A and B are shown apart, each in its own frame.
Chain A
Amino acid sequence: MTQIILDDMTAPSKTNVHSIADRGGHDKRNPGMEFDPDLFGKIRINRSAVERRAATIGTRRTVKKTWQAAWLLRAVTCIDLTTLAGDDTPGRVRRLCQKAMRPVRADILDALGVADLGITTAAVCVYHNLIETAVDELKGSGIPVAAVSTGFPAGQIPLKLKLAQISESVSAGATEIDIVISRGRVLTGDWKGLFDEVKSFRKACGDAHLKTILATGELGTLSNVAKASWVCMMAGADFIKTSTGKESVNATLPYSLVMVRAIRDFQELTGYRIGYKPAGGISKAKDALNYLFLIKEELGKQWIDPALFRFGASSLLGDIERQLEHHVTGSYSAQHRHPAG
């Protein structure tokens, strides 16, 4: 197969003085920056054009056979395995944590020749009350516990309670905090207020990583999504995340395109790499691959890494497991053949 992949080039082009290969990147954590509305105030996103590009992500790129299996395994390692329900109990969370530690059946991993890679999901994501259970269950696995916070999912509680919740969650052992932004500040154009709020969240997090949930489905326009992304990154977000999973529209490729382009511009400006987390509604292996293609195309391969990319998902893993088994056996799989999480 004569195929040339024109990206991932390390040598500077002979004809290009602005080589992108040597553009600096910090591996350090984003410290945030001064609020500067000039950097995002004029952003206008063309929805139709974004949707057109998003629609061809999955038609321009595909992975088959061994490549597909490898990409799906990579997807597994990027999952924040999530349960966020009113009826979550310690028993439910322990089961989920066990699944996070052994997301794919051992015989399948053996057959794929990757049993020694120590494949786990990226994190387990729970409500505050379940943090301690999760931390306990995951002890020794190296898998972090993420907690949703700040009055998730609507965020309609006083700021001091939000900050208190973050502190409590961090104390309880969460090393990643998924906060929700105040959508009202976006919708009323109070960008400085949003910046101050997120900055205070970042401070409250301390060493815990901050993921800012924009609730894109409630921001009205893609331009607002882009602006909110910028404000959160300026305020020191480690990740920007689409949704709580509770909005009527959650993660989509168009939202993702807008957000990862903001991430790319932010990195070009500051050198800091911000992570991206689409969440809600991603339940099929094929969908997951499309997100990974989008990330590779728009941000580059180095972003497909749990340090910089997560899926917020609960049922995605099950579909990936079935696809992996199909790859190994050649027969289509069934849900009951894979351990419940």
Chain B
Amino acid sequence: MEVRDLFESLEYGPAPESPDEAKKWLQDRDNTLDHFIAGQWTVPQSGEYFPSHNPANGDLLAVVADGDEADVNRAVAAAADALEGWVAMGGHGRARYLYAMARHLQKNSRLFTVMESLDNGKPVRESRDIDIPLVARHFYHHAGWAQLMQEQMPGFRPIGVVGQIIPWNFPLLMLAWKVAPALAMGNTVVLKPAEYTSATAALFADMCREIGLPRGVFNLVLGDRKAGEALTQHPEIGKLAFTGSTEVGRILRKATAGTGKKLTLELGGKSPFIAFEDSDLDSVVEGLVDAIWFNQGQVCCAGSRLLVQESVAERLHEKIRKRMDTLVLGDPLDKGIDIGALVDPVQLKNIRSLVDRGVEEGGQLWQPDGPLPEKGSYYPPTLITGVQPSASLAQEEIFGPVLVSMTFRTPSEAVALANNSRYGLAASIWTENINLALDIAPKLKAGSVWINCSNVFDAAAGFGGYRESGFGREGGKEGLYEYVKPFWESRLSKEPVQQLPRFAPVDPEPGHEAPAIDRTAKLYIGGRQVRPDGGYSNAAFDSTGCVIAEIPAGNRKDIRNAVEAARAAESWTSATAHNRAQVLYYIAENLAARDAEFRGRIRSLSGKDEAGAQAELDLCIRRIYHYAAMCDKYDGRIHATPFRNVTLAMKEPLGVIGIVAPEEAGLLGFISTVMPAISMGNRVVVVPSEHYALLATDFYQVLDTSDLPGGVVNIVTGDQDVLAEVLAKHYDLEGMWYWGNRSGSRMVEREAAATMKRTWVNYGLYHDWEDNEQGQSLSFLRKATEIKNIWIPYGE
């Protein structure tokens, strides 16, 4: 090309980033990537390797160790060996290593950048300007948390060996999100990267070697599903963290159910991108470029579902199409491209078939003209308009550069459409009206809400989903709790601490006088006392074995009705914290007003003496006061993210929680589990202790007189095992707490996999409900809430 021609044509021309250094690094290792275990490059025990290709041209990049159970066992053993020393090193010692990682990453940033693009196919601009800087930032930030752990995380200890399985779309960034907090909190790690993308993980392992990280603190097992499964099932793993598809997440939820392994899942999404008519449309278009034409759309939180107000839809679509014309697609190592290669031909095939189906279903396809590179996995940027919420394109995650668009008329319709999804990972809101933005943001089921921006991330802010997008948060202080355990958890007992009375049922003495007026205990659903659907009752015994009443035997339909009532009681969630506090105080007041009655009931059912009954009731009232007080004090944070914005980490109630109260703990168990949940604005369906059910049914009369809106607390008495399963399988619960037995705990976690509801189970261990750590710690509030990060850039 001559200068004079280019002077006329003003083409951009090629601007290739050299792959030489990255290739040399691979060649120095004979283009072979091995495991990194106990500080050593380790060949797979099976001797097997599989090929990994450059998706931009299909060339072989390296062969990768095909890890299996034997390799995982070695890695976990190494991590276990390293644990004691790593913990003993203390926060400052660990901070020094994390700091060294951050520095080392920066000093070798170009090598990491190029390797990432070679391996994954993402534009080198993105690796260079987004992935790698965020990786370094993550290590810096968490070096800080390591330093501060003792002071900022009192009462918590490391979990131990954690297993981490990461995806191929942000290979090194996902490694950083997993490894940095885990190491900072004193855990040791076995990480398995995705089979398509092992290179930067190997580079990271090499860096750990170079900075002298103690052996076994970070272990890398390469491989496919086999290695992942082995890691998941390894009994010495205390925690499993996974980012990937909802399908695999579900498998992991089931596989770890009942094992006591902590689990975080960061899964798929179909995130809404809402453009209101008063938004800056040209900026909206660029927001969409960031949302869906970032990393070829292979982003779990991609803004793939455009919801645009009908009044500006045509105009916006036209602007989007024009912008799509200027997107440059090509070699990921070229510095002037916007869209690189998809990670693998499999991915290309998936996208094609989903788009074909969408077009068959009536969507109107628009793609810019122009040939695609002949080699490599490329798919053009795509806009599909006229998509209805019922279309598969509107529901299913495409994981490609495909934007689907639909319209709405009003803010409330926008919210309804946005939330009309099984997922809940992220959302983007575009409006110049702060009233509108701050009204909509809390209403969206999404862990990250970006106002007038999209796909912004930072180590100081949590990231993670609602619904089938998974649970757990990565980043920010909220992310640290995923890698620690409270000390009190290790003090839980294998035997019940509070004892149920032992008795053999005895028949009542035939009466000589007129009996007391028969009091009928009922279910309490939607603020009304209702008879059980099945028309059966179970006997209620006092502590001596005498039948003193009958308790309704609730069934699945009663649970259904109770969940519906709880779902409808939305006003409790939107009530102010101050209002909720007032109601809780009032509950305490009314309980105190009936103390004689409750003391009598406690004595009768538990066999406690007067002093014991008084003590339990006093503790119940104190606990209600505690949560009343916490209503407006367990509040959010503002994260210090490094650009001009306010990042609100808002604590939100889960929604509707099913609670199976501890059988042995009477009124105290009921209060200790229900009050934290409702104090945060949740509505609950509670299955009370079977033996102490009368205390729960007595208690609804207290609720009735305390201005608690109907449907906030729903009480379904009956067989805990049966009802727990109905709750666990219910699709319309956001959470489930269970204090039963081991097998029930496993059942709850396994069944939760269908909708990814948040579970909290006791694995058959017992709290001491009279102990304030085990019976009313902040853990209860943490479990009752989820953190939503709302990003609000400002500046006029």
Interface residues of A (CB under 8 A from B): 1-7, 9, 11, 13-16, 18, 20, 42, 44-53, 56, 59-67, 69-71, 73-74, 112-114, 117, 221-223, 261, 292, 296-297, 301, 304
Given contacts A14-B369, A74-B10, is CB(A62)–CB(B15) below 8 Å? yes
Residues of B within 8 A of A16 (CB): 321, 366
* Chain B, Cβ-Cβ closest to A293: B12
Of listed B5, B279, B370, residue having the most chain A CB within 10 A: B370
Residue interface bits B777-793, CB-to-A below 8 A is 1, else 0: 00000000000000001
| Beyond A48-B644, A61-B336, 10 additional pairs, beta carbon < 8 A | A3-B336, A9-B370, A16-B321, A44-B278, A52-B290, A53-B286, A70-B5, A73-B3, A114-B7, A301-B10
> A13-B369, A47-B796, A49-B283 in contact; A6/B7 too (CB < 8 A)?
no
| Distance between Cα atoms of A66 and B6 in the complex (Å) | 8
In the complex, what's the smallest C-beta–C-beta distance from A42 to chain B, in angstroms? 7
What chain A residues lie within 8 Å of B322 (beta carbons)?
20
- The reply to whether A1 and B334 form a contact with Cβ atoms under 8 Å apart is yes
Alpha-carbon gap, A14 to B380, bound state (A): 14
A301 to B11, CA, bound (A): 9
Distance of B691 from chain A, by nearest CB (Å): 59
Looking at the complex, which one of B13, B283, B325, B328 makes contact with A66 (CB distance below 8 Å)? B13
Tell me the bound Cα distance from A338 to B520 in angstroms.
102
Establish whether residues A6 and B12, one from each chain, have CB atoms under 8 Å apart when the complex forms: no
In the complex, A222 Cα to B336 Cα: how many Å? Answer: 28
Q: Which residues of B contact A18 (CB under 8 A)?
A: 318, 321
Task: Please give the distance in Å from A62's CB to the nearest CB on chain B.
Answer: 5
In the docked arrangement, what's the CA distance between A65 and B318, Å?
A: 35
B367 x A15 contact (CB < 8 A): yes
Instruction: Report which of B5, B125, B290, B321 forms a contact with A20, defined as CB distance below 8 A.
Output: B321
Q: Which of B314-372 contact A (CB under 8 A)?
A: 318, 321-322, 324-331, 334-338, 364-372
Say which size band chain B's interface belongs to: 35 or more
Asked if B279 and A46 make an inter-chain contact with CB atoms under 8 angstroms apart, the answer reads yes
Check if A5 sits within 8 Å of B374, measured CB to CB.
Answer: no
- A15 vs B382: C-alpha distance in the bound complex, in angstroms? 11
Q: Is the CB of B280 within 8 A of A44?
A: yes
B366-394 residues at the A interface, CB under 8 angstroms: 366-376
Do B12 and A5 have beta carbons less than 8 Å apart? yes
Distance in angstroms between the alpha carbons of A69 and B326 in the assembled complex: 22
Binary flags per residue of B116-136, CB closer than 8 Å to A gives 1, else 0: 000000000100010000000
Is B280 touching A46 in the complex (CB atoms < 8 A)?
A: yes
Contact A69 B325 (CB under 8 A): no
Residue of B1, B331, B453 near A52 (CB, 8 A) is: B453
A56 to B287, CA, bound (A): 12
Q: From residue B471, how far is it (CB to closest CB) to chain A in Å?
A: 30
B interface with A by C-beta (< 8 Å): 1-7, 10-16, 125, 129, 278-280, 282-283, 286-287, 290, 318, 321-322, 324-331, 334-338, 364-376, 432, 452-453, 644-645, 793-796
Query: Does B286 contact A49, Cβ atoms closer than 8 Å?
Result: yes
A-B contact pairs, 7 of them (CB 8 A): A4-B373, A5-B328, A6-B370, A9-B370, A48-B645, A49-B287, A66-B3
Q: How far does the alpha carbon of A1 sit from the alpha carbon of B328 in the complex, in Å?
A: 13
Cβ–Cβ contact A48 & B794, under 8 A: yes
- Cα–Cα distance between A80 and B170 once the two chains are bound (Å): 46
- B438: min CB distance to chain A, Å: 16
A158 → chain B, closest Cβ, in Å? 32
Q: Given A62-B15, A223-B796 in contact, is the A113-B2 Cβ separation under 8 Å?
A: yes
Given A44-B280, A60-B338, A66-B1; A1-B793 close (CB under 8 Å): no
Assembled-state Cα–Cα distance A63/B364 (Å): 36
* Chain B contact surface mostly: loop
Judge whether B321 and A114 touch: CB under 8 Å. no
One of B1, B4, B374, B453 near A2 (C-beta < 8 A): B374
CB neighbours (8 Å) of A60 from chain B are: 125, 336, 338
Interchain CB contact under 8 A, A49 and B4: no
Q: Contact: A67 with B13, CB < 8 Å?
A: yes
CB within 8 Å: A-B pair count: 159
A61 and B326 alpha carbons, distance in the complex (Å): 11
With A6-B328, A63-B15, A66-B3 as given contacts, are A15 and B366 in contact (CB-CB < 8 Å)? yes
- Distance from A329 Cβ to chain B, minimum over Cβ atoms (Å): 15
The residues of A that contact B278 with a CB separation of less than 8 Å are 42, 44
CA distance A5 to B15 in the complex (A): 13
- In the complex the two chains form, is A64's CB within 8 Å of B365's CB? no
Question: Which residues of A lie under 8 Å from residue B282 when comparing CB positions?
Answer: 261
Residues of A within 8 A of B287 (CB): 49
Residues of chain B with a CB closer than 8 A to A114's CB: 3-4, 7
With the chains together, A4 CA to B325 CA distance in Å? 11
Q: Complex formed: what's the CA distance from A11 to B322 in Å?
A: 14
How near does chain B come to A186, taking the closest CB pair, in angstroms? 14
Alpha-carbon gap, A61 to B50, bound state (A): 36
A69 to B10, CA, bound (A): 11
Q: Which of A15, A46, A301: most chain B Cβ within 10 A? A: A46
A2, A62, A222: the one within 8 Å of B331 (CB): A2
Residues of B within 8 A of A296 (CB): 10
Contact yes or no, A62 B283, CB < 8 A: no
Return the chain A residue nearest B14 by Cβ.
Answer: A1
Contact of B7 among A7, A50, A74 (CB under 8 A): A74
Contact B12 A67 (CB under 8 A): yes
B11 touches A4 (CB 8 A): no
Residues of B within 8 A of A52 (CB): 286, 290, 453
Whole-angstrom CA separation of A113 from B452 in the bound complex: 48
Expressed in whole angstroms, the Cα–Cα distance for A62 and B280 within the complex equals 27
Question: Are B7 and A49 in touch, CB under 8 angstroms?
Answer: no
* B645 proximity list for chain A (CB < 8 A): 48
Cα separation A9 to B328 with both chains bound (whole Å): 13
List the 4 shortest-distance A-B pairs measured between CB atoms, nearest first. A67-B13, A70-B6, A49-B283, A48-B793
Residues of A contacting B6 with CB < 8 Å? 66-67, 69-71
B279 contacts which chain A residues (CB < 8 A)?
44, 46
Closest CB in chain A relative to B347 CB, distance in Å = 19
Kindly provide the distance from the CB of A334 to the nearest chain B CB, expressed in whole angstroms.
22
A301 to B279, CA, bound (A): 28
Residues of chain B within 8 A (CB-CB) of A69 are: 3, 6
From A4, A53, A301, B283 is in contact (CB under 8 Å) with A53
Given A2-B375, A46-B279, A46-B432, check contact A304 B13 (CB 8 Å). Answer: no
Shortest CB distance A332–B (Å): 20
Cβ contacts under 8 Å, B11 to chain A: 5, 67
Contact A70 B15 (CB under 8 A): no
Asked if A4 and B10 sit within 8 Å, CB to CB, the answer is no
| Docked-complex contact B10 and A70, CB < 8 angstroms | yes
Of B14, B129, B375, which contacts A64 at CB under 8 A? B14
How far is the CB of A92 from the nearest CB of chain B, in Å?
A: 30
In contact, B13 and A48 (Cβ under 8 angstroms) = no
Residues of B within 8 A of A297 (CB): 326
A43 to B12, CA, bound (A): 33
**A117 interface neighbour in B4, B328, B329, B432, Cβ under 8 Å:** B4
Cβ-defined contact, A59 with B129, below 8 A: yes
- CB-nearest residue of chain A to B13: A67
CA distance A52 to B795 in the complex (A): 12
A117, B7: Cα distance in complex, Å: 10
Contact A59 to B321, CB < 8 A, known contacts A48-B794, A69-B3: no
- Shortest CB distance A58–B (Å): 11
The answer for the CA separation of A259 and B218 in the assembled complex, in Å, is 52
With contacts A49-B287, A67-B12 known, is A3 near B371, CB below 8 A? no
Chain A nearest CB from B336 CB (Å) reads 5
Question: Whole-angstrom distance from the CB of A286 to the nearest CB of chain B?
Answer: 14
Q: Are A48 and B795 in contact (CB under 8 A)?
A: yes
Q: Please report the C-alpha to C-alpha distance between residue A59 and residue B124 in the assembled complex, in whole angstroms.
A: 10
Q: Which residue of A lies closest to B381 (CB)?
A: A6
Chain A residues with Cβ under 8 A from B331's Cβ? 1-3
